[in-house]
Amino acid sequence: EIAYLIRDEKGKPIRMIGLLRDCTENRALQYQKQIQNKISELFKEPLKLSEILKKILEEFMRSGQFIISEIWLKNIEGNQLNLITFNESQENNNNFYKNFKTYSKIPSDKGLPGLVYKSQKPEIWNNLPEHPSFFRKDEAKESGLNSALGIPIEHGGIKLGALILGAKENLTEDETQAL
């Protein structure tokens, strides 16, 4: 914000001229760079891949906006996605993942992870307990999960899987732009 006060010959303010800049995009890019740097640093640590992925999910959860996070990766044939690791906020008391073994492997075209994997485009689903393609409606309702953001995972143009972030509140594109 920049403002200038214009005064009359007696020094009395008569007008103000100002400029206001929207820094939302700059903040989003700065946040995105911070996340990328943090992820790069995690891959430099002498940890197992599973531990690195868990720490990456914890990093997304630190924002406080998300109550669940997941990484789904394709199998060798590319016809199935496997839930590799997940994280849930402590306030949920593991309500969302209490039955995770029953859906830890899904066809690569099923649900939000499958859609994001196939299309390689980010996707937001709101009202999950009622969403026709969300296969964990009961868990969403019980844990208060209302919306999810799916982000494709790829490397060098090769589809690898999907990152899923879930929230209690509806998500919008503006809120998730930095991710």
**Predicted pLDDT of residue 126:** 95
Distance CA(143)–CA(96), nearest Å, equals 6
Q: What is the pLDDT of residue 108?
A: 94
Place of tokens 């008569």: 14
Enumerate residues 6+ apart whose C-beta is below 8 A from 20.
1
DSSP state of 61: H
Which range among 28-37, 131-140, 144-153 shows the weakest confidence by mean pLDDT?
28-37
Model pTM score: 0.78
pLDDT higher at 176 or 136? 136
- Whole-number pLDDT of residue 27: 61
Using only C-alpha atoms, the chain has a radius of gyration, in whole angstroms, of: 21
CA–CA distance, 87 with 95 (Å, rounded to integer) = 11
Q: What is the DSSP letter of 90?
A: G
> Can you tell me whether residue 167 is helix, strand or coil?
strand
pLDDT value, residue 13: 82
Query: Which tokens sit at 129?
Result: 């307990």
Higher pLDDT, 82 or 50: 82
Under 8 Å CB-to-CB from 138, ≥6 apart: which residues? none
pLDDT band at 165 (very low <50, low <70, confident <90, very high): very high
pLDDT digits over 97-136, tens only?
Answer: 877 777 789 999 999 999 999 999 999 999 999 999 998 9
Flag whether pLDDT at 33 surpasses 60. Answer: yes
